[in-house]
Amino acid sequence: MIIDAQKLIEQGKMARQAARILASANTIQKNNALIKMAECLEKSAAEIIAANRLDLEAGREMGLTSSLLERLTLDEGRIAGMAEGLREISALPDPVGEVLEINRRPNGLEVGRIRTPMGVIGIIYESRPNVTADAAGLCLKSGNAILLRGGEEALHSNRVIARIIAEAAVSSGLPAGAIQLVDSPDRQLVIQMMQMNDYIDCLIPRGGAGLKKTVMANASVPYIMTGMGNCHVYIDEFADFNKARPIVINAKVQRPSVCNAIENLLVHQAVARDFLPLIAEELREAGVEIRGCQTSKAVVPWILEASAADWAEEYLDLIIAVKVVEDVDQAIEHINKYGTGHSEAIVSENYTNVRRFMRAVDAAAVYANASTRFTDGNEFGFGAEMGISTQKLHARGPMGLRELTTTKFIVYGDGQIR
């Protein structure tokens, strides 16, 4: 059922009410709901696939690229994956109610801090319909109600998935309104979500540069910006090429469309002559287009020439920009200037250079001698993730259940006054 502006406010009110109840739901209730949601998704696979087919048909007519269509596609396997994701979330520890500290003050007051849900979380995302189940599962486990605004191109799929998991949650005794889809292709409603301060406590935009701009220009609801990834690998003067080569190839080629893939290669001038021809050849074999600075081109003449715009661009494709730098400090400076604060790596055997890089680079994740592709909730060991924050406030890097909570101070007294 397509909604309008007035209906969105009503959804916000329902979410707020549901959030109050959900906040005190116990872990067993929430886990049972997650498992029920998983079962219902699996049972309804045929219905989901039928809805997904409508999205795919419309997508083909609209001329979506094959990679977008691929992301949009659901089959038995992917639905089983969504269900498995929900079961994994049910197995993760419940962050709500964790007491972070409790100290007795000289006057006898006991001052503590306890983890609580945020309340209502709004998520704005694109093509992949599995995000609907993942995000709802994470929010539910962390005691938050969720308003889901998926991409227009996945509306049929999201509608069915959201209905199935919302009904499953209600049938497990959780409040109606805890999981709701913003069921409309109208982009004005997205703007409206960004300004629903009374009903949304935290907004999580997951998308590209366009969404980021819209959020920055319009949001009054506090938000956590995610997934902007203009990432670099810096090959130091003291790099071990046997580590450097696989790291560059992996970080660029293994999955170029994701935010933790690299877009840039920085090479110390002292090793440019030895390293660049090797890596350029490997990148070419992997089908990567190389755009180099003047110095890189002097070493490997067949590569393309980079323009000034290349240093800031997030290709998300088999393209890489290459720049020769004077030293580790110039690499750090370049990264802090052009990077989006996502994932940055140095390859070096030199203690001091590694230490300097790790300290001075201003990003969510900084690597020594490993691929940037590891920036991921699962890889870091805290299970599923809601996105990768590239901002400094609240959460930075992969956001798991803990990052979907806030804290409150609890103070126990015996009549103390000031």
Q: Which of 361, 355, 354 is nearest to 334 (CA)?
A: 361
Q: Sort 265 into a burial class: Cβ within 10 Å, 0-12 / 13-18 / 19+.
A: buried
Stretch that binds a second copy, among 73-81, 166-174, 182-190, 408-416 (CB under 8 A): 408-416
Question: In sequence order, what DSSP letters do the residues of 41-96 get, joined into one string?
Answer: HHHTHHHHHHHHHHHHHHHHHHT--HHHHHHH---HHHHHHHHHHHHHHHHSPP-T
> C-alpha dihedral over 187, 189, 191, 195, to 10 degrees?
-170
Identify which of residues 39 and 380 has a Cβ nearer to a second copy in the complex.
380
Beta bridge partners of 122: 147, 203
Q: What are phi and psi of 35, to 5 degrees?
A: -70, -40
Identify which of residues 6 and 103 has a Cβ nearer to a second copy in the complex.
103
Identify which of residues 51 and 224 has a Cβ nearer to a second copy in the complex.
224
**Residue 210 interacts with a second copy (CB under 8 A): yes or no:** no
**Residue 115 interacts with a second copy (CB under 8 A): yes or no:** no
Locate 323 and state its tokens.
């720049």
Stretch that binds a second copy, among 1-9, 146-154, 291-299, 355-363 (CB under 8 A): 355-363
Distance from C-alpha of 143 to C-alpha of 20, rounded to nearest angstrom: 9
- Residue 262 identity: I
Stretch that binds a second copy, among 68-76, 107-115, 124-132, 308-316 (CB under 8 A): 107-115
**Residue 363 interacts with a second copy (CB under 8 A): yes or no:** yes
Q: What are phi and psi of 21, to 5 degrees?
A: -75, -45
Among 119, 129, 175, 377, binds a second copy (CB under 8 A): 119
We find the least distance from the C-beta atom of residue 406 to a second copy, in angstroms, to be 4
Distance from C-alpha of 20 to C-alpha of 17, rounded to nearest angstrom: 5
We find the least distance from the C-beta atom of residue 159 to a second copy, in angstroms, to be 30
- Residue 284 identity: R
- Site residue total, a second copy (CB under 8 A): 67
**Contact status, residue 225 vs residue 398, Cβ threshold 8 Å:** no
**Residue 392 interacts with a second copy (CB under 8 A): yes or no:** yes
Per-position x/- string for 298-337, each x denoting binding to a second copy as judged by CB under 8 A, each - no binding: --------------------------------------x-
User: 244 to 303, contacts with a second copy by CB under 8 A?
Assistant: 246-247, 249-251, 254
Q: Give, as one character, the DSSP assignment of residue 138.
A: H
Among 9, 54, 69, 111, binds a second copy (CB under 8 A): 111
**How many Cβ atoms are within 10 Å of 108's Cβ, its own excluded?**
11
Identify which of residues 109 and 298 has a Cβ nearer to a second copy in the complex.
109
Distance from C-alpha of 74 to C-alpha of 369, rounded to nearest angstrom: 36
We find the least distance from the C-beta atom of residue 381 to a second copy, in angstroms, to be 6
Distances (CA, A) of 43 to 80, 127, 161, 395: 10, 23, 12, 36
| Residue matched to tokens 């886990």 | 31
Locate 298 and state its tokens.
């002097």
User: 20 to 39, contacts with a second copy by CB under 8 A?
Assistant: 20, 23-24
We find the least distance from the C-beta atom of residue 280 to a second copy, in angstroms, to be 19
**How many Cβ atoms are within 10 Å of 217's Cβ, its own excluded?**
9
Among 7, 78, 284, 394, binds a second copy (CB under 8 A): 394
Stretch that binds a second copy, among 19-27, 34-42, 76-84, 150-158 (CB under 8 A): 19-27
Identify which of residues 43 and 408 has a Cβ nearer to a second copy in the complex.
408
Identify which of residues 102 and 298 has a Cβ nearer to a second copy in the complex.
102
- Residue 2 identity: I
**Contact status, residue 120 vs residue 16, Cβ threshold 8 Å:** yes
Stretch that binds a second copy, among 54-62, 159-167, 269-277, 401-409 (CB under 8 A): 401-409
**Residue 217 interacts with a second copy (CB under 8 A): yes or no:** yes
Among 28, 103, 210, 309, binds a second copy (CB under 8 A): 103
Tell me which residues touch a second copy (CB under 8 A): 20, 23-24, 103, 105, 109, 111, 113, 116, 118-119, 197, 201-202, 216-217, 220, 222, 224, 240, 242-243, 246-247, 249-251, 254, 336, 358-360, 362-371, 373-375, 379-381, 391-394, 396-397, 406-418
